[in-house]
Structure 1
Amino acid sequence: MESQRTFLLIGLLLVSFLLFSEWQDEQAQSKAEPSAVTQVATSPSNTDQADIPASSEADVPVAQTQAVRSVITVSTDVLAVKIDTKGGDIVEAKLLQHAETHGSDIPYLLLGEFDGKQYLAQSGLIGLNGPDASSAGRPVYQTEQSAYTLSGDELRVPLSYVDSKGVQFTKTFVFKAGKYDVSMEYDVVNATDNPVQVQLYTQIKRSAQDKDSMVDQTYLGTAYGTQDEPYEKYSFDEMREANLNKNTLGGYVSFIQHYFVSAWVPKQDINNTIYTSIRNNQGIIGAKGEPVNIQANSEAKLSAIYYMGPKDTDALEALHDDLDLTVDYGWLWFISQPLLVLLKMLYGILGNWGLAIIGITILVKTLLYPLTKAQYTSMAKMRALQPKMQQLKERYGDDRQKFGQAMMEMYRKEKVNPMGGCFPLLLQMPIFLALFYVFLESTELRHAEFGLWLTDLSAMDPYYVLPILFGASMFLTQKLQPMTITDPMQQKMMTYMPVVFSIFFIWFPSGLVLYWLVSNLISIAQMLIIYRGMEKKGIKVRD
């Protein structure tokens, strides 16, 4: 088992490479996302009639209301939104509490139309008498104001439309202070002598982003949830192969990206059809509700909720039990989510995300101390058995079978597990991976400052201080550990391993490197304590 430590470090390097690739993918993805510094179209968006989902055959005459198409603006304490009066689509959304880049005064642009690309939130009424199903095109709503500003806890933005039969449609967006979710309410008043039928649809439209290279984003696309599938991704490539068509009670549709998400949550007590389509490199995911029959001289209300903002797990879960899964922690989500809760608690106490990372590292290393002790104890015992191991090699020469049997018998008598140094480290890897996704996915760490030169824990260390310190701590750890490797080539590999990791970690987010550095420093302290105790018992640990 001389090469077990080399095997572990190579495995660790491989895992680090995979994590680095994932982080690079996320960075490439974020660069491909909308940028507020890009010229944004100020004219009404191109909401093509072909975007509207199919419904039962429509019989909607040319509208009676004649309105001039325009774009109205809505401002709250967290959102700056533009709504196209044609169709009542949200065609632009800026997040006022999130900067485009670190230190910038320009708010982050989540939705918009720029450079021939679109990212819109659409909604409307189809069905036999839905205005959005008219052959004349989507309705142009009328508004009392061209600009709305939130001054209290709630802001209502009504858009009205009357068709040629006299059916009145009022589409109202309800904004709330401090909230990124917007309620969309339809009031349909049928003042005619005949029944009408409408069907609510809500959808998100975005230009497909193709991969340009191996380091381009691994995923930038849609996701949905149904009664049976809490969270499923559906990529642009999957859209090109087949359109999604699923019936479910409740559900949601979303578009996810690094740190941010937009999602429609329809009413959860009705059956909805989740669908996708793609045309001219424009991908759409949406949900259609059930057809609603409105009798003569009566009215009906239809509604849905749209979220456009950061991946805030608490806010998302409040809208839908499974919507927080769009904060994608991978298959280790059951570890990542508690770690994020713990990280937030520490931030609430310490008031600094860097200190919170140090605090969670201390807690994790303390909880894993029994595994760490088992790991270092096993390595020390293996080191103490090296003279006996050499004797067995000399005794049995090239007879590998007898040597193996004798070696296992020696392990049994000495009560040493040859894999005892591997298993504890392997058991710690899921926690490290889970923390990696916490640092990668959590919006709270975007542009989070620590102090001094570390002004953004989600970005690489600009002066490479942490990677260098990490390499030094790894080198010191190697010097303190009992050496069980006798092969000169493997020893040389071990010598250069800290240099390789230091170079490799240059491109890692500084928050993750901070975690590893502190983890190494704590491991060194724990190692010294464990070895001192073993040496007191007469067990030789180091030369």
Structure 2
Amino acid sequence: MNQTRTFLMFALMAVAYFLWNAWEKDYGPQPLAPVAANTSDVEVSPVATIPGQTPSEAGQQGGGRLVTLSNDVLRLTIDTRGGNIVKSELLAFTATPRTKKNPDPAPTTLLNDNSNDIYVAQSGLVSSGGAAPDHRALFQSSQSHVEMAAGQDGARLDLVWQGPNGVKVVKSYALKAHSYVVGFEQNISNGGSTPWQGNAYEQLQRMAPVEDHSWWKSISDPSSHSFFGGGWYSPQDKFQTLGFDAFKKHPLNQTTSGGWISMLQHYFFVAWIPSGNETETFSTAILGSDSARPSYILRAVSPSITVAPGQSYQHEARIYIGPKLQGTLDAVAPGLDLTTYYGWFTLIAQPLHWLLSKLEALCGNWGVAIILLVLLIKAAIWKLTAMQFYSAARMRKLQPRVDALKERYGDDKMKMQQAMMDLYKKEKVNPMAGCLPVLITFPVFIGLYRVLSESVELRQAPFFGWIHDLSAQDPYFILPAIYVLVMLATQWLTPPPAGMDPAQARMMKFMPLLFAVVMAFFPAGLVLYWIINGGTSLIQQWMIIRRVEQTDTKLRTS
């Protein structure tokens, strides 16, 4: 198959992939059917007893004050009303790229209690027989700002609640240096005269985003193809996603130990990670289901807790608030690396990400790493592509004889095709020689597209010059224009398929323009990959054409 047909095959595969991707997003497999929870050791029903809090109610809550806790990578804002994390800022990730015009952009905000887009991490205690501080209770703090000082390895914030029944609860958050993991404790001290019984819980509450289903959004914003919703993990069922529509269709009610719950989005996520030595109940809830924008809750509830008079009990958990840093998250909790979801191309994308990260470690630039990746791939399939280009070069030499066959057989297409096949067989030309290389390079192309779209390491990664973000489109469309030039040069070196209809031939001439439109909205790193891939193929093709011509010249003169 010659290079022109390769372009057409690639275009058809690309269209098929994006259609499949859109279908998967809307009609893909649903989560596993919920497993009935074993609630024999849970004395308090998690959904019936734990109070909800709609966005409007959250805005009306008063009496609390905001306290901040920070290390070198994370700044948390905690409301003493409930002792909840109502805002988180990722200090190492800016909301917009750093440029000369904007040298100090604001950090990326993940959790936020904005009433128009509420996203908070809540926790508390509930009891069926006595007072307990849920996520609406008023805590006290002697501190207003806790920051990890230079030379320290962490920082800690304590919030105190004192009940009328003699029960005292200290809710604590702790940060360590360079870490997005937040340690969390609820220490229950029973100073009363009767046993205290209840449950501890942690939950994530989030409003669904306002979705834009326009075709422009789908091709111009890579985040539109990224999963946005809930997720949970257990050692038995592994990682399961929960789209916001699944909260109603497939409500979760599952008991497990060693798992976690999370809210996922493009590049970042938040996950409550309960202590692995207890059996927790994972469940879902919807607040304001009749409203235009309901609020969705993923919750983990502990087994029943009993604290005798004069005794204390400490309930522990962790919460991860940060980026999807591949290769590091499984050390935080089993299965946490799965939050970076590549879909069907995981088997290709994960090794590509690993190889890209190794190359970037060598050269210090993700764009250069992409170029080196292309060169490695081209070296690996050099002989396969050489077969394709030798076939194309021989067909180029045979073009005058093919034209003669057209004149001889006229409109008799069957005789024409048979004569062409006889000619190819006699001259040892295989018109299908180009199929295998494109079947190899296309999955790599899609795998790299997923890596560039989902890997936070490539977010806002600069290349050189005007390319400040390899995961976003080229702002001046220079790289797509360069790729068009590569395609035009390749088209000039490649003979049109024999017997092609004139209308098809004219359409093929517009292929570079079609690809220019498509590539204009792809991530700049992906277009860079395809430029280097096409450029090296162009050089290889030109070298082989020259070699074939020199060989033919020697044969004629000998």
When the two structures are superposed, what TM-score results if normalisation uses the length of structure 2?
A: 0.80
- Choose the corresponding residue for 1:223, options 224, 231, 236: 231
Secondary structure class of the residue paired with 1:313: coil
Measure how far apart 1:220 and its partner are.
Answer: 2.0
Between 378-387 and 171-180, the greater mean CA deviation after superposition? 378-387
Measure how far apart 1:379 and its partner are.
Answer: 3.9
Residues 1:54 and 2:47 aligned together: yes
Q: What is residue 41 of structure 1 aligned with on the other side?
A: none
Q: What is residue 487 of structure 2 aligned with on the other side?
A: 474
Give CA-to-partner distance per residue, 1:140-180, whole Å, 9 cap, x none.
22212121111111111111223222222221111111111
Q: What is residue 484 of structure 1 aligned with on the other side?
A: 497
Q: What is residue 515 of structure 1 aligned with on the other side?
A: 529
- Choose the corresponding residue for 2:377, options 364, 367, 381: 364
Between 525-534 and 327-336, the greater mean CA deviation after superposition? 525-534
Structure 1: distance between partners of 2:418 and 2:275: 67
Measure how far apart 1:55 and its partner are.
Answer: 6.3
Give CA-to-partner distance per residue, 1:427-474, whole Å, 9 cap, x none.
221111111111111112222211221122222222221111110011
Asked if the contact 1:125–1:131 (Cα under 8 Å) also holds between the matched residues in 2, the reply is no
Go from structure 1 to structure 2 and tell me whether the alpha carbon gap of 1:196 and 1:389 turns closer, same or farther (over 3 Å shift): farther
- Choose the corresponding residue for 1:247, options 231, 252, 255: 255
Percent identity for Structure 1 against Structure 2: 36
Measure how far apart 1:133 and its partner are.
Answer: 7.2
Unmatched 5+ residue regions in structure 1?
A: 26-51, 59-66
The alignment covers a number of residue pairs equal to 501
Asked if the contact 1:375–1:425 (Cα under 8 Å) also holds between the matched residues in 2, the reply is no
- Choose the corresponding residue for 1:304, options 303, 317, 339: 317
Residues 1:503 and 2:517 aligned together: yes
Q: What is residue 458 of structure 1 aligned with on the other side?
A: 471
For residue 162 of structure 1, what is the amino acid of its counterpart? Q
Structure 1: distance between partners of 2:186 and 2:340: 30
Asked if the contact 1:374–1:424 (Cα under 8 Å) also holds between the matched residues in 2, the reply is no
Go from structure 1 to structure 2 and tell me whether the alpha carbon gap of 1:266 and 1:145 turns closer, same or farther (over 3 Å shift): same
Unmatched 5+ residue regions in structure 2?
A: 24-44, 52-61, 218-223, 289-293
Give the structure, 1 or 2, with the largest relative contact order (CA under 8 Å, sep 6 or more). 2
Secondary structure class of the residue paired with 2:113: strand
For residue 208 of structure 2, what is the amino acid of its counterpart? A
Q: What is residue 92 of structure 1 aligned with on the other side?
A: 87
Q: What is residue 112 of structure 2 aligned with on the other side?
A: 112
Q: What is residue 276 of structure 1 aligned with on the other side?
A: 284
Asked if the contact 1:119–1:205 (Cα under 8 Å) also holds between the matched residues in 2, the reply is yes
When the two structures are superposed, what TM-score results if normalisation uses the length of structure 1?
A: 0.82
Measure how far apart 1:68 and its partner are.
Answer: 4.9
Go from structure 1 to structure 2 and tell me whether the alpha carbon gap of 1:270 and 1:130 turns closer, same or farther (over 3 Å shift): farther
Give CA-to-partner distance per residue, 1:57-108, whole Å, 9 cap, x none.
99xxxxxxxx952221123222221111122110011112221212242111
Secondary structure class of the residue paired with 2:327: helix
Q: What is residue 164 of structure 1 aligned with on the other side?
A: 164
Residues 1:426 and 2:439 aligned together: yes
Q: What is residue 30 of structure 1 aligned with on the other side?
A: none
Asked if the contact 1:384–1:539 (Cα under 8 Å) also holds between the matched residues in 2, the reply is no
For residue 258 of structure 1, what is the amino acid of its counterpart? H
Go from structure 1 to structure 2 and tell me whether the alpha carbon gap of 1:232 and 1:212 turns closer, same or farther (over 3 Å shift): same
Structure 1: distance between partners of 2:494 and 2:534: 13
Between 264-273 and 386-395, the greater mean CA deviation after superposition? 386-395
Asked if the contact 1:23–1:508 (Cα under 8 Å) also holds between the matched residues in 2, the reply is no
Matches within 5 A, 1:142-291: 142-151=140-149, 152-215=152-215, 217=224, 219-280=227-288, 281-291=294-304
Structure 2: distance between partners of 1:539 and 1:187: 89
Structure 1: distance between partners of 2:10 and 2:171: 55
Q: What is residue 46 of structure 1 aligned with on the other side?
A: none
For residue 434 of structure 2, what is the amino acid of its counterpart? G
Structure 1: distance between partners of 2:22 and 2:416: 47
RMSD: 3.4
For residue 209 of structure 2, what is the amino acid of its counterpart? Q
Matches within 5 A, 1:32-47: none
For residue 501 of structure 1, what is the amino acid of its counterpart? F
Secondary structure class of the residue paired with 1:314: coil
Go from structure 1 to structure 2 and tell me whether the alpha carbon gap of 1:284 and 1:23 turns closer, same or farther (over 3 Å shift): same
Measure how far apart 1:288 and its partner are.
Answer: 2.1
- Choose the corresponding residue for 1:13, options 11, 15, 21: 11
Measure how far apart 1:184 and its partner are.
Answer: 0.8
Structure 2: distance between partners of 1:343 and 1:535: 38
